[in-house]
């Protein structure tokens, strides 16, 4: 109800409150939210008492027996706050949301194509500042392979760090949108280049929030290894834990016994041990980023998930 009040009644008092809400969760808040299964994320991101949004950027260290040394705490920065404020002030118009809902139900329109046609929702995961900090260890990387690029929302925050970004997408509309934004885009259902094409030397691979949506994560990881050289760094992210809304009808990861005990940290441990390391990707850094989607007036943040971002060395 507080959220609806802020979204619908943008008077000066509410506006002042809404601009000061973004902060890290306290341990007390986190403990109060860890009982039982909560959708869509591990904890409740909206704090009605404080009238503020809560985003968890650090880790419960005792739940990371093998990843504790590489887990890097983050914080809330200006870009995250600006995105959330923009969602509150400029939610998806009702007519666009109705059009989205109509297209989603149309079997002749791909789910992700619909988002391109309507231009909504907007997605946010990582700020430019955070990418600059985490990518500083790869100063010579110039050419990127981005797998499952969507319409470019997640790429835009790191694009200035590289000279060439090669995108792979299954959606025709998204490929068109990517080209419009100046990205090199290839429409393919697999991680492969067109026959006859000179395969470029890839310096770094991004696979952001894709392995939880593909039909076979193991095959995808194996395919990545086929188009890169030994030692090429790979950045892989996946929303955790697995009981978030997008995952209710996806079984590609849940069938691999990766769920852990339904906490972010144990799920990250399971992904690292049972998926990444078994397929030749050794995590060297782990970050916890928010994964946010804009929404309509009644629910201006329609998705508030946490994403585990693994920086990995490729082992051959």
Q: Is pLDDT at 31 greater than 50 in this prediction?
A: no
- Residue 146, CA distances (Å) to 69, 167, 224 in order: 27, 5, 11
Task: Give the pLDDT score at 50.
Answer: 64
Please give the average per-residue pLDDT across 90-104, as a whole number: 90
SS3 at position 16: helix
Alpha helices in the chain, H assignment, sequence order: 2-8, 12-18, 27-33, 78-89, 94-104, 111-118, 128-134, 172-180, 217-226, 264-271
Among the listed ranges 130-139, 204-213, 294-303, which one has the minimum average pLDDT value? 294-303
Cα–Cα distance measured from residue 143 to residue 285, given in angstroms and rounded to the nearest whole number:
21
Predicted model pTM: 0.83
Q: Count of H helices and E strands in the chain?
A: 10, 11
Beta partners for residue 306, in sequence order: 240, 290
State the SS3 of 281-309. EEEEEEEEEEEEEECECCCCEEEEEEEEE
Contact 311, 235 (CB under 8 A): yes
Q: Is the pLDDT of residue 5 over 50?
A: no
Predicted local confidence at residue 196, as pLDDT: 63
Q: What number of residues does the chain have?
A: 316
């Amino acid at each position: 109800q507080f959220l609806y009040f802020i979204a619908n009644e943008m008077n000066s008092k509410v506006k002042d409150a809404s601009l000061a809400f973004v902060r890290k969760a306290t341990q007390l808040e986190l403990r109060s939210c860890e009982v039982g299964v909560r959708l869509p994320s591990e904890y409740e991101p909206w704090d009605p008492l404080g009238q503020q949004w809560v985003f968890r950027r650090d880790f419960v260290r005792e739940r990371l027996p093998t990843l504790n040394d590489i887990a890097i705490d983050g914080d809330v920065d200006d870009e995250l706050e600006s995105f959330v404020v923009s969602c509150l002030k400029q939610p998806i118009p009702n007519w666009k949301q109705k059009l989205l809902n109509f297209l989603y139900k149309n079997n002749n329109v791909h789910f992700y194509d619909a988002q391109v046609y309507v231009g909504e929702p907007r997605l946010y995961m990582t700020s430019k500042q955070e990418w600059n900090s985490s990518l500083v260890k790869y100063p010579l990387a110039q050419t990127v392979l981005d797998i499952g690029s969507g319409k470019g929302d997640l790429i835009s925050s790191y694009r200035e760090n590289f000279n060439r970004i090669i995108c792979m997408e299954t959606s025709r509309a998204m490929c068109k949108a990517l080209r419009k934004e100046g990205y090199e885009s290839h429409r393919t259902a697999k991680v492969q280049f067109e026959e006859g094409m000179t395969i470029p030397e890839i310096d770094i691979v991004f696979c952001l929030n894709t392995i939880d949506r593909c039909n076979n994560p193991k095959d995808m990881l194996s395919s990545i290894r086929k188009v890169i050289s030994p030692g090429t760094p790979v950045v892989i992210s996946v929303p955790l834990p697995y009981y978030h809304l997008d995952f209710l009808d996806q079984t590609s990861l849940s069938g691999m016994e990766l769920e852990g005990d339904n906490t972010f940290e144990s799920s990250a441990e399971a992904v690292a041990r049972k998926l990444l390391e078994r397929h030749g990707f050794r995590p060297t850094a782990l970050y916890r980023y928010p994964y946010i989607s804009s929404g309509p007036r009644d629910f201006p943040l329609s998705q508030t998930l946490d994403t585990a971002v693994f920086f990995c060395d490729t082992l051959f």
